[in-house]
Structure 1
Amino acid sequence: MASIDPFIQLSELDAVSPVIASLLALAQIIYMLPRSAKGRSALWALALISLGPYAAYTIAMRNARSMTLHSLEHPIEVLIRNAQADFNQMLERQSKTYADAVNEYQRRYEVEPPPGFEAWYEFAVANQSPIIDEFDTIYESVSPFWKLSGKEVVQIMNDAQDTADIDLWLCTFSGKTAETHCIHPRRNADRHVSDLMNRLLGDLRGVLPDVKFLVNHLDEPRVLIPRLTHPNPSAKQWFTVTDLSERPTWNAITKYCPSHVLQGENGKTSPQTEPKTEDLPLITNLSAALDLCQHPEYANMHGLFQGPPSFRLIEGRVPVLSTGAPSTMSDILIPSPAYVLEDEFLYNATFDVPWPQKDNHLYWTGSTTGAVASATNDWHHFHRQRFISLAQNLEPGRHHLYLTSPPPASAPTAGSHKPTLTTSPFLNPHNYHVFPTRIFQCSAPQPCREQASHFRAQSWQPRDAALGARLVFDLDGNGISGRFHKLLASRSLVLKQTLLREWHDDRLAPWLHYVPVSVGMAELPEVVRWLVETERGRAAARELGRAGAEWAARAVREVDVKLYVWRLVLELARLVDEGRGALAVVGESD
């Protein structure tokens, strides 16, 4: 009992309980000894074994609270203010008329909108969509395939469907009946793709064109487009498929990055990616943070790059719909059916908790998905395991970054009184409620046994348990996290870590609707401390949680998902139109 580390306990009661228990055990032993036993009284000195660590813990807690910024402006407050200003400007410039929307489309993409765009616009306006023009995600997903003619796209899709073990669904949407049917060479369940399309577009009979499209069956992304190449029909090979399941993928999916940033799978960090020591490494540019080519250190920081359970890489211009993809890959992004159809991932206000009654800590429970632990990799470096280790304070010797108030004597004027970045081995475990509830995805029993002994685990938790916390964490699993929309709607503040682009990226603003967390998480201890322990931080957390929920109710509704999918179908219909020739792509050249 006396040897239990108080610095990894999640509450004051947890920390003091071993002290009490060890003192009671010591007292029992002493009083069982004969009164005449030599040195009996001296045994009370053993109480220091448990009192010493607890005293150190109490002092560390007091010192940590005294260092917290109270009066100075926190960098997060600056980011929130800037995000609000940028977001307001984005809303103000949305097109107000159909002519404006057409002009904006032409300005952005240098091509006419697809047939059916006017009906889409009228539906968007009728349903009070605050977003009319911000659909760059669709353009960025579809435009790489414009360099092929419609006939070439259809031929590639047919060839892909006939390829053994490629694991793609070929889906057909009928404009006349507004029904979608998907087929697969060997599978029977399409993971709700046809259900999603029928749910969203089933009332649009006669409005949309017929269209065929390929859908990824796997959680992981699929498509990598070679640089500076165009398929050659005479070569009779439009694409290749490589199975990298349970193997490192970093070199493969970053092979077309500029050569000066390629470091291989040793994960060495180039000088420009080293953390700045003078600043807290908050994400200030989300696009740059997601760019794999700028961050070779990610090779050993995310499970997708170290040993994903399934990864069949398609190299070539094959239009495949997936729910998420990293910056270097070219999957066409479609909303996950989980966001619309699966009860586990849908928000129900009945199970939410008013803000004052929410627990004041960061909450996450879940499975150790993301990669397969084996003898050829180190599960300590997988993204979910790294997060759990940090939150459970299981990294002895790690120093965390914190912002503190400098002594008044060092800042004689108000203008020079700025926060100071410092390091400390202390992490307040009371600020976190983080547990794995299922440890699996191991190629052999040993890695799972190691994780079970390393982490403190909990049993299965109710699916709405996260709604009882003020701060909730969301991060990638094998693919995208289906929890994000639900957590966003809950008025809890979502701290989001991901390397995958999704359909909603154009309409959600980091530092306004959620807090982005870097892959390295060096900023996380200070972010959580400020949001949990300070009055201004708690007020900011409440406001960001409210803003995220209210915006989700305006712009991440089911009808907003429908608008995205509707517009995507229009683009796909133009893409597979066999009468269409190859189109130029804005910003891309051979």
Structure 2
Amino acid sequence: MSRFLSSLLPSASYNPIDDLELSNSRSSPTSTRPAGPRRRLAPLVYLSLLHVAFVALVFKAWSHPPHGGPSGWSPYSSSHNGEDPAKLEWDMSPEGLAKFGVDAMYERQSTTLRQATARYELKTGRRTPRGFDKWFEWVSSRGLLVDEYDQIYNDFKPFYDLRSPHHIRATIQQDKALVEAGGTQMFAYESRDGRVRRTSAEGPFDAIWEDIMNKFAADVPSFDAIFNYQDEPRVVFNVRSPDARSRAWNLSDPKPYFLNPDPSADFFEKEGHCLYPNSDSGLFEATNKEDAFLISAVSQGFTTDLRPVISQTKISPCFADILTPSPYYYHREWWGPKEPYDDPDNIPWDEKAEKLYWRGSSSGGAVKGQNYHHMQRTRLLDLANARPDMIDAKFTRYVYCNEECDQMEKEYPLGEKQSWQHAYQYKYLFDIDGNTFSGRFIGLLMGGSLVFKSTIWQEFFTPWLKPYVHYVPVLPDLSDLYEKIEWAQRSPIEARRIALAGREMARRVITDDQLDAYTYAVMLELAEIQGGWELADGKKVVDVETGEQVGTQ
């Protein structure tokens, strides 16, 4: 047990750039001097000192609230009130371990600008973007994540790899002209002199994104941005394909953002634009014929060029959009949950119904003929109809089906739309893709039920919320759903542990401030790829298109 607990301990104020150098006073490996009493006692003394240091670090870590965590919490089962921590019991309950997991995440964040800079440079190979110091000050003062932005680094990497701010600026200017002309379902923004303004027509989310960016614009260099307000991503460009670099330079799409293949199934599968695996391990088997978007996308408007477009979700590596948090996850926004979560804890785990629960619309793909039988939400209802003792799933309305709607309702009668509180009465909740991401994942996690999730989509929080740790993943074709539910039924302790870990992450990490911090970091990178950057070792970057040296301006 002690070995397990010690492996979970946060590293306190450890700073990788302040590591002590090893002493060079060790005896020569060729020395034949016999080990005297003092030399034999040295290891014991050394171990004793390590023990004292360990106890001091533990006491220090838990006598102060962890970075980003609630003040006063400790892993002990009760407040120590000045008692000797060594005499107190650890809180090894599922609740205690769930809190400890999030506390450990916050505890490992950088605590100084120097440390955050070192970690950024190690991960990216670049100097931190201009304005990084102000960003660090803002997130640190609010106890937010500092070092957990690998999704951003990965999204921007292809544009840094081009090594041409000139090319990127020219591409964005082309896009601004297209967006301002109308019909793209995107917004164009420009940030000048510390103020962001929209330069295109209004639409969903326009003021939300403008307001968020204006919170930080004064501390971010000038930039232009293209935001996509469709649920679907737009940039069909596989950055991992062997010819990606040459294709990235060749902007060959004759009508960017107006590519609407019909059917989308042929475009993605037969033409090879996106073959998505049903599983991330084992022999490859595409799930294209089992996913509504890949079968018959509702909204399209794609481009096959590499262009820096900000979107809410994407399939990786088929799409190269840059991710940002969706307004659907902001508690303060109208687009967020339509009702408060009230008190999700008012239903104890043991009193929740032992079934998988789901309600939602028939969204996912444009229905044509009988293709809806292959779409994931319809397959979920088929599974529910076959095992009503295990799954309670119903459509609450029909969309994107035209004349097929009547036939669908005969096969799948509608159920009543229910509240979040009603959903929390069930021990197992399901999050399944619609047109793209469902937008309800975080709300489901907050209820303390075990969330099962089937998705092919990446979102900004994908690296933070981990399968088998915070939720139970289900294959896109749902072929393992029965199996996963049966596992939860026979493993109630582990199921509850995952449920509580997911709830803790949703409540304490996916906050409005954290979403703002993520968008703030995206703004810094947008400005950097347009204005120039330096490598981590200080070397200047030469624009490969103009031959001019670029750098921080």
Q: Deviation string for 1:264-297 (max 9, x for gaps)?
A: 8xx9x9xxx7xxxxxxxxx7xxxx36x9xx8552
2: CA distance, partners of 1:205 / 1:514: 36
Name the aligned partner's letter for residue 456 of structure 1. P
1:526 alignment partner, one of 480, 483, 500: 483
Please, which of 537, 544, 566 is the counterpart of residue 520 of structure 2? 566
**Which one-letter code corresponds to 1:434 in the other structure?**
A
Aligned mates of 2:406, 2:542 — CA distance in 1: 57
- Note if contact 1:498-1:519 (Cα within 8 Å) is conserved in structure 2: yes
Q: Residue 133 in 1 paired to residue 147 in 2?
A: yes
Gaps of 5+ in 1: 1-82, 274-282, 394-426, 585-590
* Aligned CA distance change for structure 1 residues 450 and 194 (closer, same or farther; 3 Å): same
Identity rate of aligned residues, in percent?
23
The corresponding residue for 2:414 is 457
Measured at CA, do residues 315 and 451 of structure 1 come closer, stay the same or move farther in structure 2, by a change above 3 Å? same
Aligned partner letter, 1:504? F
SS in 2 for 1:482: coil
Kindly indicate whether the alpha-carbon contact (under 8 Å) linking 1:231 and 1:238 is maintained by their aligned counterparts in 2.
no
Q: Does residue 107 of the first structure (1) align with residue 122 of the second (2)?
A: yes
Shift of 1:522: 2.2
CA contact (8 A) 1:105 1:133 kept: yes
Render the CA deviation track for 1:301-329: whole Å, top value 9, x for unaligned.
10111111111221112111111000111
**Contact 2:237 2:319 (C-alpha < 8 Å) held by counterparts:** yes
SS in 2 for 1:317: coil
Which one of the candidate residues 198, 202, 215 is aligned to 2:227?
215
Q: Is the 8 A contact 1:170 1:215 kept in 2?
A: yes
**Structure 1 length normalisation: TM-score?**
0.65
The aligned residue for residue 372 of structure 2 is 379
Structure 2 CA distance for partners of 1:316 and 1:127, relative to 1, 3 Å? same
Deviation of residue 577 (structure 1)?
2.0
Q: Residue 47 of structure 1 corresponds to which residue in structure 2?
A: none
The question of 1:345 aligning with 2:337 is answered yes
Q: Secondary structure at the match of 1:209?
A: coil
Give 1:366 deviation, angstroms: 0.5
Once the two structures are TM-superposed, the CA of residue 487 in structure 1 deviates from its matched residue by 1.4
Partner of 2:405: 448
Give 1:538 shift.
Answer: 2.7
Q: What is the rounded CA distance, in whole Å, between the counterparts of 1:231 and 1:239 in structure 2?
A: 16
Instruction: Show the counterpart of 1:490.
Output: 447
Partner of 2:502: 548
In the other structure, the counterpart of 1:433 is 392
Q: Secondary structure at the match of 2:118?
A: helix
SS where residue 142 of structure 1 aligns?
helix
Aligned 8 A contact 1:324 1:500 in 2: yes
Task: Report if the CA contact (8 A) 2:166-2:543 is conserved.
Answer: no
- Residues 236, 438 of structure 1: alpha-carbon distance in 2 compared, 3 angstrom cutoff: closer
**CA separation of 1:253 and 1:152: change in aligned 2, threshold 3 A:** farther
Structure 1 counterpart of 2:207, one-letter code:
S
Q: Secondary structure at the match of 1:362?
A: strand
Q: Distance in 2 between matches of 1:95 and 1:149?
A: 31
Structure 2 match to 1:414: none
> Which letter maps to 2:200?
I
- Whether the 8 Å contact between 1:246 and 1:371 is mirrored in structure 2 is no
Q: Secondary structure of 2:219's match?
A: coil
Name the SS for the 2:264 alignment partner.
coil
- Relative to structure 1, the CA distance from residue 95 to residue 174 in structure 2 (aligned partners, 3 Å threshold; closer, same or farther) is same
Residue 33 (structure 2) aligns with: none
In the alignment, the residues of structure 2 paired with residue 351 and residue 228 of structure 1 have an alpha-carbon distance, to the nearest angstrom, of 51
Deviation at 1:546, TM superposition (A): 1.8
Structure 2 unmatched ranges of 5 or more: 1-97, 239-243, 534-540, 546-553
- Amino acid corresponding to residue 192 of structure 1 in structure 2: F
Whether the aligned pair in 1 keeps the contact of 2:130 and 2:220 (CA below 8 Å) is no
Relative CO higher for 1 or 2, CA cutoff 8 Å, sep ≥ 6?
Answer: 1
Q: CA deviation at 1:250?
A: 5.8
Q: 1:305 and 2:264 equivalent?
A: no
Deviation of 1:362 (Å) = 1.2
Structure 1 583/391 Cα, relative in aligned 2: closer, same or farther at 3 Å? Answer: farther
* SS of residue in 2 equivalent to 1:156: helix
Whether the 8 Å contact between 1:222 and 1:313 is mirrored in structure 2 is yes
* Partner-residue secondary structure (3-state), 2:287: helix
In the alignment, the residues of structure 2 paired with residue 255 and residue 98 of structure 1 have an alpha-carbon distance, to the nearest angstrom, of 48
Matched to 1:435, the amino acid is: K
Q: Counterpart of 2:395 in 1: which secondary structure?
A: strand
